Structure 1
Amino acid sequence: METATTTTSNTFSDRIKLPFNFEVPKMFKEAKALQLDNFEYYDVIPLRSPAHLVDTSLPFPAPAEDYADGSWTDWLDTNALKKSPYLTSVIDFFKENTTVNLVRLLRLAPHSTVKEHTDPTLGLEIEKSVIRLTIPILNNESVTFYLNNTPVLMKPGECWYMRLTDPHKVINNGDEERINLTIDMIPNDWIRRIINESGQNSI
């Protein structure tokens, strides 16, 4: 496991492509195997969830004063993830280097829109927060992710950090669904260094 103690800048770009690429055919095959139901507009397939939702024998967590960084509960792999060896390997890569909590497959139906919104705890500049990495699995030329009213040109298999405390929206004008893998984690020196260095290299 690689560790780092490098101090990074407090200010990051609103979008940064990270130096990770994952195998799209393997992710797509496993994602499709989990799609058991038709859906309208938007569908979420949890891959890591709060422990009490995965194992119903566990007690509901005690109320917390702050839910921002996910430390209010333990997080477990879901049965859907356990059926998906390649997706498991992708998530395990990050789990070896930082603390991963919520992981999901997010499906957006054809000709659907996620309206502009912000996620107040999903940015490195927030003192106590998680960050979300996005890995597109199924995309098409008619899907556009807008961040601060500017398209983010993500390709399947790439891994992106985006400052989702800023306004963002998604428009799918295509005839097929869009599928993204999102991985939420508590930021540490390792991921901060990678984001910082990747941002500098893209300038």
Structure 2
Amino acid sequence: MPIRREEEGRKHRDSADGEVVNIGTKDDIDQFVREVFQHEWSDYLDTYPPETGDRTWEWSDSGKPWGRLQPHVWRSGREYGLDLHFEHHPTAEQYTTGTLQFELHLEDCETGSADFSAETLHQQFRNRFERRAKRVKPALSERTEWSQFRITGSLDEHVLCRAVYPFTSLNERAYYETLRTAVEDHERITSFATDMLSELTQSMPPARERSR
């Protein structure tokens, strides 16, 4: 996978593991992030998909300062106004600091925000998720590569949990590999979130019918 473009005149050096690392000026790096880094993470995952059994994944928003990832089965939640997905943030700051944040988001399909008042589906899902995630968190942390993991609760309503991963800064491929690892690390969370989504919506009419 060609991940460097020497002809574009950016400054580079070889890292210890043989990867080519961008160490240009801030403007060089900002341009690289916009034109390459924010696009090629999805190409990498297409070529090297996460190992999560027979689960089918989708990713979107390539070319933006954030990227969305979700198993195909979560699309069913959109009929009920539930936009459940993971996000990461391929920004210049994360690229230069060697920090990848991987978050589980629950948003509204129309507005991007969500109503977390007591009786909404969004709040019911969040409450169930928090209880389950707290029970499995110790076991999760034994088999993952994140450096931090937090169940965010009401501090950041639409973010249900956030994991932080270190990677070799200024190394594009290291970021992509770490992103793939993050998806694999979250397989247990993905699995029980999928079950919760099904349980919560199976007896509910779709949002378009409830609004009539």
TM bracket, shorter-chain basis:
under 0.3
Bigger relative contact order (CA 8 A; separation at least 6): 1
TM-score, scaled relative to structure 1 = 0.28
Larger helix share, 1 or 2 = 2
Q: Which structure dedicates a bigger proportion of its chain to strand?
A: 1
Normalised TM-score (structure 2)? 0.27
